[in-house]
Amino acid sequence: MDVLASEVASQIELHREHGGVVPELASRNHSLHLRPLVEQALGHAGVSVSQIDAFAATTGPGLASSLLIGSTAAKAMACAARRPFLGINHLEGHLLSPFVRETRVPPHLALIVSGGHTLLLDVTAAGRYEKLGGTRDDAAGEAFDKVGKMLGLPYPGGPEIEKLARHGNPAAWDFPRSMVHDPHLDFSFSGLKTAVLYTLQRESGNLSAADLAASFQQAVIDILIAKTLQATRRTGRRIVALSGGVSLNRALRDACRRACEQAGLELVVAAPELCTDNAAMIAFAALLRHLAGEASPLEEDIHPNLPLV
């Protein structure tokens, strides 16, 4: 797929002073920026609304107030242009993002690592997914943000921990790798987060924040890789696709690449600009469904807790 335009109105600075996302602020700013952003995207793409074949929006999972704004706007444009509307699962957007610029989605094992989700899926083709494992408590990205808050780092904590970890020793603290030897493919990061908290309380004033960040980050990476390799052995897949906001983490990317090379696997990672929430990944998922003859009813509601499978 050729991406003609993919615009993002970031709200990081808006929410940073609150230490996390404030739903009311998020939805207000969606309303404020949506029309100018659409006009900007059309201008950069060099197309008019009448030239668009289908309109899509995320209908879940996510914050209800924000989902309503995007889906309502897309439905309105679809009605005005007399074109189909497609409601897209946010997680499917992440899942397919490593293949946005490809001509097809091959069978593969998918690892989605984001602020709200950690998922392993067996992918036969676009639209054909089997969930193999997910998080039983905190998602990996959520654990990064919470540990970042423990360390007094700015929101979002994930990128800040990665920066700090570059100057630390990942072997300084032997944090737990929960459930890596269990036969199932689920994840758990709450015990790791608690271990970091107890370490901070016990060693207050006597530890290196960089060492703690590096040790925590390494534990998360070890858990993700161990479960992913376990899943490839179970499914026989030879391609691993890594996506989601946490996949921007350079240490995770490098470790996954080394692990896949050693196991004789091909690793496909979403381009950096497609890792965090973006329009292109939703458009790609919508394009594949549109080409398959699918469309969503205009009366379809949003689904804040919508599962992928």
pLDDT tens figures, 190-246: 999 999 999 999 987 789 999 999 999 999 999 999 999 999 999 999 999 999 999
The answer to whether the CB of 294 falls within 8 A of the CB of 263 is no
Contacts of 305 (CB under 8 A, 6+ apart): 60, 61
Q: Where are the domains of the chain?
A: 12-94+275-291, 107-270
| C-alpha span between 183 and 214 (Å, rounded) | 27
| C-alpha span between 24 and 276 (Å, rounded) | 21
Predicted TM-score (pTM) of the model is 0.94
| C-alpha span between 136 and 133 (Å, rounded) | 9
β partners of residue 239: 266
Q: 63: which 2 tokens?
A: 């914050």
* The domains spanning 12-94+275-291 and 107-270 adopt the same CATH topology: yes
The answer to whether the CB of 124 falls within 8 A of the CB of 106 is no
What number does CATH give the domain 107-270? 3.30.420.40
Which residues of the chain register pLDDT less than 50? none
Nearest to 66 by CA among 75, 53, 56, 57: 57
Contacts of 229 (CB under 8 A, 6+ apart): 259, 263
pLDDT at 20: 81
Yes or no: domain 12-94+275-291 corresponds to CATH 3.30.420.40: yes
pLDDT at 179: 94
> What is the per-residue pLDDT across 31-58, written as a single tens digit (0 to 9) for each?
999 999 999 999 999 999 999 999 999 9
pLDDT at 75: 98
pLDDT at 103: 81
